[in-house]
Structure formats: structure tokens, C-alpha cells
Structure 1
Amino acid sequence: MQSIFYDRARDVNHAIELAREPGAKFIGGGTNLLDLYKSGIEKPVRLVDVSRLALSRIEALPDGGLRIGAMATNTAVATSPLVRQRYRVLSEALLNGATTQLRNMATVGGNLLQRTRCYYFTDPAFSHCNKRDPGSGCDALDGHQRIHAILGASEHCIATHPSDMAVALAALDAVVLLQGPDGERQVPLVDFHRLPEDHPEIDTVIRPGELITAVELPPMPFARNSHYLKVRDRASYAFALVSVAAAVDLEHGSIRDVRIALGGVAHKPWRAAEAETLLRGQAVSSELLARAGEAAVNGARPYPGNAFKVQLAQRAVVRALQTVIRKSGGQP
């Protein structure tokens, strides 16, 4: 039996010091890490408990933005009046993400660090998984591909990122605050998660010993006009086949500014920058929204088992935009 050590961190600096040991892992709510540990996917030698650190505050910033502590639970964020009023899409994404029981345990920092839910990664019976065992191959390439990526994948991995929260944060220009042995740094959420390329075993740009301390949202008044659309096989908290986080700044029937991010389509939350550029400054029309849907999946490389996702994503983008525009009093 493999030995495992447990330590409860007194403060952030203590947590970072404990995590210097190779194989150490931070644990907050444990809703993902413990599952992977029990199945033998994750094999930490030391668990550093950060759940009691004073990092759970949700507070307004002087510039009109918002800081969310890494230990804030998903429930606390989803129900926060500040989040619901200023960044509605984030609340909707979290409420669509998991059951109340899981939301009560799961933390913001842990949510960002979720590992993929690819069948071939989470089941040790499948021996070929480059994410679990680099260089072994990818059983998904010739397997059941329904939930897998159509954007940004590589021949080494076609898994998708499972988080709903992270998709909303990508659309909101969020920034991840990190503290580690080399000090503090900030990473834009859109750059925090990696595409698989030649190293699918590396999910994020986080460095050894670094701890997520908070997420900051910039002031974005039009994020009040936002929506999270999640398309899934069943309504009971399944992972997204395709999801869309959209926020629109509408003025006199024209789109002054817009944010769009997709989930369920790539190894990371996918910011639809091309679609945003196409929409800015344009008068709203059904034709324009359809073109934006096409632009959002430009460059898609589907497999036989998930080719349906291309059209599904296009339609989801259109529907999410329509929902926001109609709520804002615009057409169509």
C-alpha cells in the first residue's frame, strides 16, 4: 500500500512550503482529486489541506470589478448578490454545473484545476492514455468520441475540459491570482489552461508549489446582460456536450461589445474571438448571428463520433446570443 501524508496548512505561506515536496497536492473540497485518487489516476504522496485558509471572501473592488477567493464554494459564488447582479452568466454556469451537495463542497480554485472526464483517462482499464501515461497513445482516437474535442485537439489527446464555471470566467476576462515559491503572479483565465499539443498530461500553466489564491473579474457593466447555455445528454447535471457563455453590450440595435466562450469543445474553455470581432459594431440580424455561430467553430476538426458538435455549437452560439439580446430588449 502506498503511504500518503496529510498536512493542514496554517496560512498561504505554510501551504506553499508544504507543497514543495514532489508529488504533493493541495486539497480543498476534494470533489475531483479524491475520486481520481481512489481510482488510482492521481497518486499524491502528500495532501496539503488548504480548505481552512482565509481565502473565501467575495468582495467588490474599487474599480467596479470583483475578487473571488479561491476557497469560496461554488454555492457561495452562485448565490452571491454581487455575482448575480453584475456577472449573471457566472451564477448560471455554476448552477448548471453540479448538484447542491457538490456545489457546497467544491471550491473555485479546485474547479479550475479539474482534470478531464474523458472515459479513457478516468478508467484505468484503458491502457492507452497520453494524459495518464505520456507516450502510451490515445484510445479515444479510435473509440467512443461523443464527448470529445472538435477544436484545439492534437493527435495525442482529444479530451475536453469539464468545467462550466471556467467557461463563464473565460467570457468575463477573468484573471487567476497565484502565489508560489517565486512570489505572486497573475494569469488571464484564457491562458491558464493549456491545449494538449505534445504534452496533454499538463493541464494548466500553474507551476510546482503554486496555489490559486483568488480570481478577479474586471469591471464589465454589460455582463449584467449575459447568459449561460448548456446542452447535455440529460438535464440532471451531465457534463456539457456544448456550452456557451455570452454577454452583449447592445445600443440602439447594434452590438457595441460582446464576449463569447464555449465549453465542451476543447481541452480548455474556448474563447470565440473571431465571432466577437465579427459582431462588434454591427446591427443585430438573424444573418449576422448565424455568421457568428459559424465563426465560433472555424477550424473545427471533428471525429466521426462527434461531428454533430460542429452544427450543435453553431446553433448554441446563436441561441445564447438571441437570449441575451431579447432580454436586453433587442431583436431578434
Structure 2
Amino acid sequence: MNIFSYQQASDAVSAITMKKAGPAAKYLGGGTNLVDLMRETVEQPEMLVDVTHLPGNIEQRADGSLLIGAAAKNTALAAHPAVRSDFPLLSRSILAGASAQIRNVATVGGNILQRTRCRYFYDNAARCNKRQPQAGCDALEGFNRYHAILGASDSCVATHPSDMCVALVALDAVVHLQGPAGGSSMPLAELHRLPGDRPEIETELQPDELITAIEIPPLGFARRSTYRKVRDRASYAFALISVAAALDIDEGGKVRDVRLALGGVAHRPWRAMKAEAALKGQVAGTEGFRAAAEAELADAVALSENGFKIELAKRTIVAVLDELKGDNA
């Protein structure tokens, strides 16, 4: 690990000022990803700006929305009564995401910005365009069981590792930002980029910009929602496929509204817009659920070792929607 300096920020403005002063500075939340990357010399910041003392409160508003401070711990968010009752898919995604020890330390803002767990990204002896632009991508012809089947490119087939982000994307979450030019916001679904030919640029954040909060708009039918994660082992492991879903069925048995997002399939949390469009107004049932899954995965592209993920994603979508249909009965 390289030598670095450390400063603790008391608010967003001081954090931005500190980071601007350091030519190779990084914001530090819980450090559960960044410190690992520093140990592996993938990240070599000259200064860390600790932002864990920024607001981490979780506020339930009168309209049913939720405002979450970026410094909130993952454990606190998963356990919050409003999250458990109104947005259970979010609570379940966090509990599926890591060990209890990591959840106790990890922050919501840090979770959103964690980097891929692709083994070639962590291995300095491997070629990786994300770590070293224009170096090549060893995952294309290497061990790619966990890699992307949607939205990938010849430059990068890594997947985004966050479980929580999949649920947040399904819930139309908005990210509040603070930067040198002031405050702004954007849908979380627009924050992470697909790799294209610049996989080292992972988000739309501007230089020195900081996530300060996450807002979840009201969504009444999210009370009937869930998150399912399919992985190689039941304990702490990253997703092969995950599905976050909320389903609203009218009195006639048709899909009135739906939210659907996938994890483990792409460089960013994947909002399943094609499947949602195919479902709305249709009779809720296994046949329609399968057709929607087929529509979403129509453009999926398999690598040498991950072709099974295409069918696995379809079956998981159907299983989750069937489960929620039962809950709506």
C-alpha cells in the first residue's frame, strides 16, 4: 500500500475543498472497497478525505418518500422500519449483499460507488482496460462466469457488484450531489455508465463531486416487492443473477404497474425497461412473465463461460414475478 495523507471532513463543502487540494485524493466512506483496492495497489491515492461524518440520517417524509444521507450505514438502512415496511426489496437486497460486519461499516454512498469485483481488474499482472486504458481485456477469453451478458463491449465485460443499487434503480431512486459548482441531482439509473470504449470512466460524476443523499420517491405498491439473488453459495458471494421487483395487479388480474431491475448482468444496475413495457396491461401469469423476460434478454450476448446466465435470468424473473403475483392475490 502506498503512503497517503488523511483528512476528516465535517460537511460536504469542506470535503470538496480538501479533495480539490489533493491532486490524487479520494473520498473515503466505510472503506470496505477502497481499502481493498489500495492493498492490491489498484488504487493509489495520495490523500483520503473521510466523509463518514457527513449526514447519515434516514428521513421518512409525509408523502411516503425517503431521504437517505449518503453516510448512513447499510445495516441502519436495512433495519429502518420504513424501509422494511414500505420498500422490502431494498432491505432484502442489502441483507443479501455482504456479511454483517461489512454492512455495519459500509456507507450507502460508498456502496453506490463501489468498483467491480472482476478478478482481472484486481490482478495487476492481467490486462484490464478499466485499470489501465488500452491495455486489453483478459476476461473476454478468460474466466468470465460472472461477467456481463447485457450492455458490454469489446473493451470491458465486467459487472457492477452492488445488490443495493439494483433495488434502488428499480425504485426510481434519485442521487443528490454536491460539487464545486453547487448542488444537483440525477436519477440513479443514469449515474453509472456502460463501458463502451472508456470503461475506466464508470459514472457521470464530475471531478470532486460527492454523493450527499439518496431519495426514494413514494411508490405504494412497493410494499409488495422482493429481491432474489442467485449465487454460487448461500453465504457472502456476488450475484450470478439478481432480480429486484415490485408488482401491482388490478382487480381484473392485469398488471397495472411494475418495477423490475437486474443485477449481475451488466456494467451498471440494469433497469429492465423492455420487460416492464411488455408486462403493463397484460394478464399477470407465468406465460406473460416469460414473454417479458424473453423481451428483456433478447439482446443478451454470452461469453465462453456465462451463457447459462441468460436462461438463469429469464427463469429468475419469472420466479420472482410468480411469487409477487401470489402476494397480490
TM tier, smaller: over 0.9
Q: How does 1:193-212 map to 2 (within 5 A)?
A: 193-212=192-211
Structure 1 unmatched ranges of 5 or more? none
Q: Deviations over 1:96-153 (max 9, x none)?
A: 0011100000000000010000010012121x10000000000001101100000000
Which amino acid counterpart does residue 135 of structure 1 have in structure 2?
A: Q
Residue equivalent to 1:29: 30
CA deviation vs aligned residue, 1:218-251 (integer Å, no higher than 9, x gap): 1100111101010000001110000000001111
Q: Which residue of 2 aligns with 1:277?
A: 277
Q: Report runs of 4+ in structure 1 exceeding 6 Å deviation.
A: none
1:225 aligns with 2:204: no
Displacement of 1:47: 0.1
Note the alpha carbon deviations across 1:172-217, whole angstroms, 9 max, x for none: 0000000010111111011010100011011111111111100000
What is residue 177 of structure 1 aligned with on the other side? 176
> What is the letter of the counterpart of residue 279 of structure 1?
L
Structure 2: unaligned runs, 5 residues or longer: none
Q: In 1, distance between residues paired with 2:296 and 2:259?
A: 11
Q: Distance in 2 between matches of 1:33 and 1:268?
A: 18
Distance 1:235 1:286 in 2: 26
**Whole-Å Cα distance in 2 between the matches of residues 206 and 74 of structure 1?**
22
Partner of residue 147, structure 2: 148
CA distance in 2, matches of 1:63, 1:187: 20
How many residue pairs end up in the alignment?
A: 327
* Per-residue Cα deviation, 1:259-296 (whole angstroms, up to 9, x for no partner): 10000000000111010001101111221011011112
TM-score, normalised on structure 1?
A: 0.97
Match of 1:138 in 2: 137
Q: Which residue of 1 aligns with 2:50?
A: 49
Quick check: 2:30–2:107 contact (8 Å CA) kept in 1?
A: yes
Aligned-residue Cα RMSD (Å) equals 1.0
SS at match of 1:305: coil
Question: For residues 88 and 224 of structure 2, what CA distance do their matches in structure 1 show?
Answer: 7
Aligned ranges 1:46-195 → 2 under 5 Å: 46-53=47-54, 55-126=55-126, 128-195=127-194
Question: Is 19-28 or 101-110 further displaced after alignment?
Answer: 19-28
Match of 1:8 in 2: 8
Distance 2:122 2:258 in 1: 36
State how far apart, in whole Å, the 2-side matches of 1:250 and 1:57 are. 34
Aligned to 1:249: 248
Is the CA contact 2:2–2:38 (under 8 Å) kept in the aligned structure 1?
no
The whole-number CA distance in structure 2 between the counterparts of 1:2 and 1:74 is 28
Q: CA shift at 1:10, angstroms?
A: 1.9
Contact 2:285–2:322 (Cα < 8 Å) also in 1: no
In structure 2, C-alpha distance between the alignment counterparts of 1:72 and 1:64, rounded to whole Å: 19
CA distance in 1, matches of 2:133, 2:64: 44
Equivalent pair of 2:141/2:304 in contact (CA under 8 Å): no
- Secondary structure at the aligned position of 2:109 is classed as helix
How much has 1:52 moved relative to structure 2? 1.5
The 1-side partners of 2:63 and 2:196 are apart by 37
Q: Secondary structure at the match of 1:247?
A: strand
Render the CA deviation track for 1:54-73: whole Å, top value 9, x for unaligned.
x1110012432110110101
> TM-score scaled by structure 2?
0.98
Identity among equivalent positions (%) equals 56
